[in-house]
Amino acid sequence: MIAIDTGLYLADYLLRSGTARVVVVPDPEVATLLNTFRLCGVVTLTTPDATAGTLLAAAESALHGGPGVVVTGSGPSAAAIVPAAAQAQIERRPLIALTVEPNGHQSRLAAQQTLDLRAVFAGVSKGSYRLRADNARELIPLAWHLATTPPRGVVHLRVANAELTTAPAPIRGQAHPPAPPPNGEHASLLRRAADLVRAARRIVLLVGPDAVAARAETAVRLLAEQWGAAVVVTPMAKGVVPETDPAFAGVLGGLGDHPILELIEDSDLVVAFGVTSADLVRAWRTTVPTILLTENGPDPALPAEVTLVGPLNAVANALPRQAGDAGDGERRAALTRRSVQDALGYAAPDRHPLTPQHVIAELRRLAAADVPLAVEADLAGLLAAQLWRVTAPRTFLLSNGLGLPGSGLALALAAALHRNGQPVAWLGTDGPLAVRPGLLAHFGGLAIAAPLVVINQGVHTELRREQEGAGYPHLGSEYPPLPGAVLAALYDLAYARAETFDELTGALAAAFTVKHPTLLEVIAERDFWWRLG
């Protein structure tokens, strides 16, 4: 019988809590824990890029809802996870970041060369704690609870190697303190919100990503139907309302969203359902009265007349079922959808050169309805946020506007690992591949149809465009194109190239047929890439 030590307790807790896999950065300090995971059957994914590994761990939480877990040593890798941890904290992704320190004399040497991780993580997490054998049975469940309790976020645990091989002490306290009951102020706010709803005639229901995490899709649809409201979603909330629903108006923060802004300004009440200001591309500015329904407390960047805090389904059920009049949300939504489409243009197969509309339209035509599309937080991703039609949540995967390059690629990889051989797709420009090509290594061994569509427009095209417009010399933008064929060969991917519409159609069709990821390089004339279809 194997004696239970702190490492084994941690591994067992992860398994019992439903952790799909742990991302491990292969530093020397993690050898003991990595072997413990192997003995216990914890699935691990190792990646030498700590930032990319943390993006992947956060992407895991986006797919299955529970905390992602990333393990590193305490040296440079620990510092490298901080930017991605900050992104996860902003996006309210539950994430456990575990940094392992060496023992004894090695630890004293390391202390002279490493950062104060508690201080570093103070600003990008919900807390940084020392994990020891004498607090493991309390701290590990508490860290899990803290990461998953709204506002969800990052919890950092620091542990010395010796503690992992020491038996954990018996539990001594209550790890999950009960939440306080609603108070009188909540009831007063609820009455004020009810008055605003009953007086409104043109309601816009603005839905954010917390509605996905709370699995509140049904509540959203019922409110929209009962109020006659038009429904707008933020990019990370796509799919909460099927985009075939007549009340769906579009994506606030997607490209070409000016008609949606006009729809909001023409309303007399906005109900922001699970919205976080971190998911808004531009600052929230409106004179329209706003009710914020949230699990996370007031949002200073999203001012509201009334902020109702609590489980989203429960708060939604407490609101009145009737608004001030029979709303015409479906009519207003239809007009807004048409205006957005006219602003972005229609993909015409006989037009040359290729445009993003062509790529997105062909991907949508060839992919089954449940195939997830992951995109980067760039112009191609924000265009897809508006044009890629989805009918279920977690099928359009996007980081927020502060997402690091490669965030979308990490989301695509997490989706591929979760779908047991079912297809996924990724769309991005060549910038993320230039920054995080190592993520492609994990695709190479997968038996899955996965078109990885890269728009190769030159990493510094936008800089060069500004230089040319101003008559400046090309300084800092003289870079060769990303070698797509070389990357594909290096990471054991199939490769295709498309410069015409027919080549694009054929390459995408083939990529969805073969059970092996395909890097599809789309080439277009730079000056016409964003031309309307």
How far is the C-alpha of 276 from the C-alpha of 26, rounded, in Å? 35
Backbone angles phi, psi at 306, to 5 degrees: -135, 130
Nearest CA-CA partner of 19 in 57, 52, 47: 57
- Residue 256's region, left for phi above 0, alpha for psi from -120 to 50, else beta, is left
pLDDT score of 326 more than 80: no
Here the tokens at position 64 are 């299955």
pTM, two decimals, is 0.90
Spatial strand order of the sheet with 494-498 comes to 396-397, 373-375, 425-429, 451-455, 518-522, 494-498
Three-class SS state of 302? coil
How far is the C-alpha of 252 from the C-alpha of 208, rounded, in Å? 10
pLDDT score of 9 more than 70: yes
The answer to whether the CB of 496 falls within 8 A of the CB of 521 is: yes
Backbone angles phi, psi at 323, to 5 degrees: -90, -170
Q: Would you tell me how many other CB atoms lie within 10 Å of the CB of residue 357?
A: 21
pLDDT score of 131 more than 80: yes
Tell me how many degrees the CA angle 120-122-127 measures, rounded to the nearest 5: 125
How far is the C-alpha of 91 from the C-alpha of 377, rounded, in Å? 13
pLDDT score of 108 more than 50: no
- Percent of the chain at pLDDT above 90? 63
How far is the C-alpha of 464 from the C-alpha of 462, rounded, in Å? 5
pLDDT band at 74 (very low <50, low <70, confident <90, very high): confident
pLDDT score of 156 more than 50: yes
At 1 the pLDDT is: 39
Tell me how many degrees the CA angle 21-217-273 measures, rounded to the nearest 5: 105
Three-class SS state of 257? coil
Q: Would you tell me how many other CB atoms lie within 10 Å of the CB of residue 443?
A: 24
pLDDT score of 432 more than 90: no
How far is the C-alpha of 157 from the C-alpha of 500, rounded, in Å? 51
Element (H, E) at 333: helix 329-344
pLDDT score of 53 more than 60: yes
217-259 pLDDT per residue, tens: 999 999 999 999 999 999 999 999 999 999 999 999 988 899 9
Q: Would you tell me how many other CB atoms lie within 10 Å of the CB of residue 27?
A: 21
Most confident range (mean pLDDT) of 148-152, 455-459, 503-507 is 503-507
Three-class SS state of 255? coil
At 260 the pLDDT is: 96
384-410 pLDDT per residue, tens: 999 999 999 999 999 987 789 999 999
